[in-house]
Structure 1
Amino acid sequence: MPLHRIFYSPGTFSEQDKEALAAHITKLYTSVGLPAFYVVVLFLPVEEQNYFVGGKKTNKFVRIIVQHIARQFQNSKQADKFISKYEEILAPFIKERGLDWEVHFEHVERNYWRENGLEVPLPNTIAEKEWVRLNKAVPYDEKDDVVG
């Protein structure tokens, strides 16, 4: 599951912006084979009186924290490529509007992750492909937790 927490000042994003940004982020992950339901995007507004950068109030800063569980970057080259694509998605919503932003990615061990109480199938397995097809977590047999 990639979990995206986007902290922003109210008024930064319209409802259409949020829907479009969440759709673009989701497409980035589904394009590499993850089920769409793995992708969670939370827009977390922070009132200006509660948002400080460098010790000063701001309404021109967006902070994004992304947790990766389903997949991990294998090396810095892979991370750089992915982060560049991610930044391209953000640009029309943040950079091109003159806002400042910060993004960081965290890796969480998949052993500590469950979907609807189910152990999550391994990447590119028959079971994971079924989760992609159905776009939801469903029980599966151990024999389906092999690359297929």
Structure 2
Amino acid sequence: MPLHRLYVPPNLYTPEEKSAIAEAITEVYTGMPNPLPPFYVVVIFEDIPKQNYFVGGKPTDRFLRIVVHHLARQFADDAKKREFLGRYEAAIEPWTKGKGIDWEVQVSDQDPAGWNENGLAPPLPGTEGEKMWLKLNKAVPYEAHTSGHQANGNL
């Protein structure tokens, strides 16, 4: 599951823009050659009032901070990290550069062994279990052909 936390000043985005941003972020993952199930992608907008939002020691209402945690896939190498960031930045550009604000994106790989969906260890990337989750777009019991979840999927 990629978890996306967007720290935003109140009223920077309309509800419609937030929905469009979440859809664009989801498409980054569902449009890959080895796509993730859409339900893996979680986007949370956290409103931070100007009096509580400081950049360089100064209050701001024109800055977006995005923190992304990857669980379902990890990067094979630094080149893949940069490639992913390029796709991600392109997807959110209408609401960052296009809006004339400053922004920052941080992506971290997390250990998938500490992750469950509806009480289930997610199926390994590329397995029949993951294909079923992708088709159904939800976590359902599946037959695992390995013991434990391994981080062998790459972005």
TM bin, normalised by shorter chain, reads: over 0.9
- TM norm structure 2: 0.90
For the 8 Å contact 1:9–1:60, the answer to whether it is kept is yes
Number of corresponding residues: 145
User: Are residues 1:9 and 2:9 paired?
Assistant: yes
- TM norm structure 1: 0.95
Distance 2:134 2:20 in 1: 21
Distance change >3 Å, CA 85–CA 9, structure 1 → 2: same
What is the aligned partner in structure 2 of residue 44 from structure 1?
A: 46
What is the aligned partner in structure 2 of residue 113 from structure 1?
A: 115
> Could you list the runs of 5+ residues in structure 1 that have no partner in the other structure?
none
Q: How is 1:99-110 mapped onto 2 (pairs within 5 angstroms)?
A: 99-110=101-112
For the 8 Å contact 1:125–1:144, the answer to whether it is kept is no
Distance 1:52 1:87 in 2: 23
What is the aligned partner in structure 2 of residue 76 from structure 1?
A: 78
Residue of structure 1 aligned with 2:36, choices 34, 37, 54 = 34
Distance 1:144 1:109 in 2: 17
Q: Quote how far apart the aligned CAs of 1:143 are.
A: 3.8
Q: State, as a whole percentage, how many aligned pairs show the same letter.
A: 47
Secondary structure of the residue aligned to 2:73 is: coil
Deviations 1:99-148 (A, max 9, x none): 00111001110000000000110001000000000000000112499xxx
User: Are residues 1:22 and 2:22 paired?
Assistant: yes
> Could you list the runs of 5+ residues in structure 2 that have no partner in the other structure?
148-155
Secondary structure of the residue aligned to 2:91 is: helix
What is the aligned partner in structure 1 of residue 67 from structure 2?
A: 65
Secondary structure of the residue aligned to 1:129 is: helix
What is the aligned partner in structure 2 of residue 130 from structure 1?
A: 132
Q: What is the root-mean-square deviation of aligned Cα atoms in Å? A: 1.3
Secondary structure of the residue aligned to 1:123 is: coil
For the 8 Å contact 2:118–2:139, the answer to whether it is kept is yes
